[in-house]
Amino acid sequence: MFKYQVCILLILSVSLGVFLEGQQTLAHKQNTYIPSKVQTQVVQDLLAKYGQGQQDRIFKGVAQVSVFWKKQDGKPEEFSQFCMENFIADPAELNRTFQKLSRYQEILGGLYNKMGLELQWNLQVDTGAIDKIDYLYGAYDPSAHLTEDLYQNKIAFFILLNFSYFSLQEKVELGPNWTREQWAYARIGDLFDSRVPANLIQKYSKQLVETDTYISEYNIYMGNLVDEAKKTYFPSDLSLISHWGLRDELKAQYALADGLVRQQMIYQVMQRIIHQTIPKAVINSDALLWNPVTNQVFQKDGTEIQTPAEPYTRYNHILAMYQALKKMDSSYPYYPSAIKRAFDLDMEIPVEEVAGVFEEFLASPTGKKVGELISKRLGRSLQPFDIWYDGFKPRSGISQEILDQKVSAKYATIADFEKDVPNILTQLGFSQKTAEHIATKLTVDPARGAGHAAGAEMRGFKAHLRTRVPKHGMDYKGFNIAMHELGHNVEQVMTLYDVDQYMLHGVPTTAFTEAWAFVFQARDLEILGMKPENPDYKALKALDSFWSTREIMGVALVDIKLWQWMYKHRPQKPEQVAEAATRIAIEVWNKYYADVFGIADSPILAIYSHMVAYPLYLSAYPVGHIIEFQLEKQMEGKVIGQEMERIYTYGRIIPQLWMKHAVGSPLSAQPMLEAAQEALTKMR
């Protein structure tokens, strides 16, 4: 009997050693404080106490605690005591604990989210002048110390001990056979995959606010742009934020017979921003006239003056964001880079897989064929800014003036839009009861920046829809943004209130909420009572989806490659980042766009403000477009509201499983490519 016990203990010791070695390799062997012999002894003691049926949970729990246990958390013997006293073997007790943990997490997540929104209110919402105190409070992250506090009071270790963390690969392999409860348990296990010091979180929060504010106030006064004859081409009161406003105004010009000259002027502005040759004095100021082609600056009386260029401020913010995130790398043992965290952790699709989908899509010969069709429709050769060609959309033949009039007649104020939300939702197929339920859970604010949506994270609080509203009232641009953000808010409300487990509330990744935002945005004319009746509508929509996705894929690829370059070369100066960003943008352009446009060396793919203020977020858009296309195909002939309720209440599981539930097949760009090819045949 004694020999048998020794044999069993030896096998367990070897098994545990292999397991712990794997954990340490995964964690880059960062933890050295708790000796492996102490961990082995704890496992043996727990197995003796609770039996072999708990072997997997014990192995994993002890290893997980050891990865993050530091000297300040207690001596090795205190580690052992903690594990022995806090491991839960009884399934009923574990489930009660899980239910309580879920509620506690909702309280913490909701209240800290609420505090963050309120503290940044004056920075994000157009409430008037921003004062220094607004920056100070807006940059403060009230939750910065939360994670460290939860480690210090041992809550984090309690969760690590009792709820298994599963890698992305494990979720892919095991997830299809998990119950909803097992998925929710796994999401509890995801809570503590890092231990970032509070000072690093606070510094990153400060940098995030500074960068977001820089972008939110990056406006170009279009009425002050002049040509060589000092002629202006835009309304005197038109102020556009970069890049969103500039891009949308460029799109709007396709509906005008004389729009080309304005598009070319906007393109020049964009290049000046990218290359940082834009005069600093013309940013967010209407005091001077500016010729973006020659880069000359004039007083209002026509006198030319010399002004310095923006001093690489754009790229200094990118560099600062990179440096702030890189300092956190060692605190994420399973995700030791911002790139890993953005894709494996947040998107739950490896960056190699995402980039591979983008490159395969961009390399398709369909791109050149669609480009030829666009050139024919325009009656001219393509120019780089035609990546934003808007002529396939139903609104492309409608002037901006008519669209603005239609919106202002329906929504004189932002309050009118908020009041009409239930009607919008019923038009989209939601029941009256559901529409009113959702509408009571959101509010609409005038955005200082381009617009965004903020979820509540806790039942009882409201989601916030923010869109840009000029002084004269809501226009079409603001309404179009509002429809996009409403899609986000509807998803946020439904997945908070209607998902069966709080730990599964939300969607797999931001790409999935972007997909639904695109679904709403695409129906903006329908809400205005301008439903398209073109017999080629379906083909045109397929081509529009293809072209829009192709554009943003290139931008996202530049974003990925820039971050890969920064991690490889560790830049110290903004000039280095500027050179790399423009070079990479040109390389991606030349590889995937030059042949389509007949023009080489354009840097236009580097214009997106997301590259500055929202690190590695851009990939969510093309993935969102792919998801949207598959969702739209699934919803053909069905009621949108009903389908959304069916699909989105599935909650936050991994992307591919969510897609199989939603549309019956994995995430794939192939349906969009095939539809574009069919549309080309029809349009010919």
CB atoms within 10 A of CB 352: 10
**118: exposed, middle or buried (C-beta count within 10 Å: 0-12, 13-18, 19+)?**
exposed
> Domain for residue 279, yes or no?
yes
Segments forming the whole domain that contains residue 62: 1-87
Q: Quick check: 30 pLDDT over 70?
A: no
Of 56, 87, 118, the one marking the end of a domain is 87
pLDDT value, residue 230: 95
Give the confidence band of 159 by pLDDT, cuts at 50, 70, 90.
Answer: very high
Which among 652, 655, 490 is positioned nearest to 102, based on CA atoms? 652
pLDDT value, residue 24: 42
Asked whether residue 557 falls in the same domain as residue 620, the answer is yes
Asked whether residue 633 falls in the same domain as residue 586, the answer is yes
Q: Quick check: 586 pLDDT over 90?
A: yes
> Domain for residue 27, yes or no?
yes
Residue with tokens 């958390």: 73
Asked whether residue 422 falls in the same domain as residue 369, the answer is no
pLDDT value, residue 535: 79
pLDDT value, residue 266: 98
| Neighbouring-strand partners of residue 297 | 290, 305
Per-residue pLDDT reduced to its tens digit, 530-568: 877 777 888 999 999 999 999 999 999 999 999 999 999
pLDDT value, residue 450: 74
Cβ–Cβ under 8 Å, residues 361 and 669: yes
Per-residue pLDDT reduced to its tens digit, 191-223: 999 999 999 999 999 999 999 999 999 999 999
pLDDT value, residue 4: 34
Per-residue pLDDT reduced to its tens digit, 217-274: 999 999 999 999 999 999 999 999 999 999 999 999 998 999 999 999 999 999 999 9
pLDDT value, residue 684: 72
Q: Is 255 left (phi over 0), alpha (psi -120 to 50) or beta?
A: alpha
Cβ–Cβ under 8 Å, residues 246 and 269: yes
Q: Quick check: 467 pLDDT over 70?
A: yes
The gap between the terminal CA atoms of the chain, to the nearest Å, is 84
Asked whether residue 12 falls in the same domain as residue 45, the answer is yes
Tokens (6 digits) for 554: 């290139």
> Domain for residue 184, yes or no?
no
Question: How many CA atoms within 13 Å lie on the side-chain side of 339?
Answer: 18
pLDDT value, residue 468: 84
Instruction: Write the CA distances from 493 to 303, 454, 455, 640, integer angstroms.
Output: 55, 10, 7, 16
Asked whether residue 350 falls in the same domain as residue 249, the answer is no
Asked whether residue 358 falls in the same domain as residue 275, the answer is no
pLDDT value, residue 385: 98
Tokens (6 digits) for 666: 């994995």
Residues 6+ away with beta carbon under 8 Å from 119: 137, 138, 140, 142
pLDDT value, residue 22: 46
Question: How many CA atoms within 13 Å lie on the side-chain side of 574?
Answer: 15
Asked whether residue 545 falls in the same domain as residue 658, the answer is yes
The count of residues in the chain is: 684
> Domain for residue 206, yes or no?
no
Of 507, 527, 547, the one marking the end of a domain is 527
pTM of the model: 0.86
> Domain for residue 143, yes or no?
no
Asked whether residue 305 falls in the same domain as residue 259, the answer is yes
pLDDT value, residue 5: 36
SS3 538: helix
Cis peptide before 437 (omega within 30 of 0): no
Give the confidence band of 31 by pLDDT, cuts at 50, 70, 90.
Answer: low
CB atoms within 10 A of CB 179: 8
Asked whether residue 491 falls in the same domain as residue 406, the answer is yes
Three-class SS string for 467-532? ECCCCCCCCHHHHHHHHHHHHHHHHHHHHHHCCCCHHHCCCCCHHHHHHHHHHHHCCHHHHCCCCC
Q: What is the DSSP string of 244-260?
A: HHHHHHHHHGGGSTTHH
Tokens (6 digits) for 360: 């395969």
**376: exposed, middle or buried (C-beta count within 10 Å: 0-12, 13-18, 19+)?**
exposed
Q: Quick check: 20 pLDDT over 70?
A: no
Quote the number of domains for the chain: 4
Name the residue with higher pLDDT: 186 or 518: 186
For the chain, give the percent of residues with pLDDT over 90: 86
Q: Quick check: 470 pLDDT over 90?
A: no
CB atoms within 10 A of CB 225: 23
Which among 305, 313, 247 is positioned nearest to 280, based on CA atoms? 313
Cβ–Cβ under 8 Å, residues 569 and 319: no
> Domain for residue 167, yes or no?
no
Asked whether residue 541 falls in the same domain as residue 656, the answer is yes
Asked whether residue 336 falls in the same domain as residue 463, the answer is no
> Domain for residue 108, yes or no?
no
pLDDT value, residue 458: 96
> Domain for residue 301, yes or no?
yes
Asked whether residue 290 falls in the same domain as residue 383, the answer is no
Per-residue pLDDT reduced to its tens digit, 636-679: 999 999 999 899 889 999 999 999 999 999 999 999 999 999 99
Residue with tokens 């000029």: 470
Of 527, 544, 572, the one marking the end of a domain is 527
pLDDT value, residue 608: 97
